[in-house]
Amino acid sequence: MVSSECLWLGRFHKCLHISARQHARNVRGWVTSIGLEASAYGTHAMGRTKVTQIYKKTGNLSAVQLLSGHTKTSGTARYLSVELEVALAIAEAIEI
């Protein structure tokens, strides 16, 4: 697969990419199909889980900031519920 190809196609031929709404429908369907409660699994929660696990395993707040699209380290720290002092210490230890 090349970067210009879509993993999932949109519902309309004019729209080649999948919309955020359609992705949410897909996730709901997948979760329901394996017998889990769909309201407990959303696309945002799954993305947050991923970056939280990356932070816990690496301590790399800068990577999490980049992956989550936050512009400030303090916003990323709040997003992860990390103490600001700890987050800033980690960020200062990483040279960019």
Least confident range from 9-18, 26-35, 45-54, 73-82: namely 9-18
> What would the pLDDT profile of 28-56 be if each residue is shown by its tens digit?
898 899 998 888 887 777 777 888 888 88
**Tokens 């329901």, residue?**
32
Nearest to 47 by CA among 64, 61, 34: 64
What's the rounded Cα separation, in Å, for the pair 75 and 83? 11
Q: What is the mean pLDDT of the chain?
A: 78
What contacts 66, CB < 8 A, 6 or more positions away? Answer: none
- How far apart are the C-alpha atoms of 77 and 30, rounded to whole Å? 31
pLDDT at 16: 67
